[in-house]
Amino acid sequence: MSKPRDKGIIAYGTAEDREKLAALADLYGISGSEVIVKMIRDRHLELFEKRTGT
């Protein structure tokens, strides 16, 4: 498993949050930052773009 990082956007989360992010990053085969960006994009699409058709 990737080592969770103690800096960047997740720094405000708990150690458990960083471990969960590292597990997701391993699952997707991308960095923790890329996981966060992917989740933001997916959620934005779900909430705003599908509803408005933009």
In this model, does residue 42 exceed pLDDT 70? yes
pLDDT tens, 11-26?
A: 578 889 889 999 999 9
Neighbouring C-beta atoms of residue 21, cutoff 10 Å: 23
Please, are residues 35 and 24 in contact by the beta-carbon 8 Å criterion? Answer: yes
Q: What does the pLDDT read at residue 49?
A: 86
Model pLDDT, residue 43: 96
